Amino acid sequence: MSEESPKAAIGPLDIKRVMAALPHRYPMLLVDRVEQIVPDQSITAIKAVSMNEEFFQGHFPGRPIMPGVLQVEALAQAAGVLAVESLGLAGSGKLVYFMSIDGVKFRKPVEPGCLLRLEVEFIQKRSRVCKFAGRAMLDGEIATECEFTAMIADPPAS
């Protein structure tokens, strides 16, 4: 009786490989690089938070903070890369849609100049629906955490 061996970790992935996995583009692409993917298990990615981000113009003048919803979006995009790469769908045009977000907690403000470390792991994986746990880390401390569910879908017909 043989056990299935775990898939080897891959990474780092540059921005070109991230863009092959995700349809997002500026200003909505919120994953700058992937440090490591353990297929079918987890991903560690980076979002370099820059003062040049458009949302800092109004959130908040004099005290720029990355909106929490965009922190969750960055985690979801990292999860999208994990799902697409784990399922061998990179370059296929498949989309990963949010279905639910649960238990989100914001623990530290994310400011310009930060490197936001995005850590996401599969909780459950089915053919089209996946559940994830994610944490956005700043200097080893949790800034944001949540669980979310996403669906893998075909792109709209053109």
Provide the annotated active-site residues. Answer: 59
Which DSSP symbol is given to 92? S
Beta strands in 39-128 (DSSP E): 42-48, 95-106, 115-125
**What gap in Å lies between CA 56 and CA 75, rounded to an integer?**
19
Estimate to the nearest angstrom the gap between the alpha carbon of 21 and the chain centroid: 11
For 103, the enclosing helix (H) or strand (E) is strand 95-106
Token pair listed for 7: 């898939």
Inter-residue contact 118 to 75 (CB < 8 Å): yes
Residue with tokens 């908040």: 60
Report the first-to-last Cα separation within the chain, whole angstroms. 48
Token pair listed for 57: 């113009």
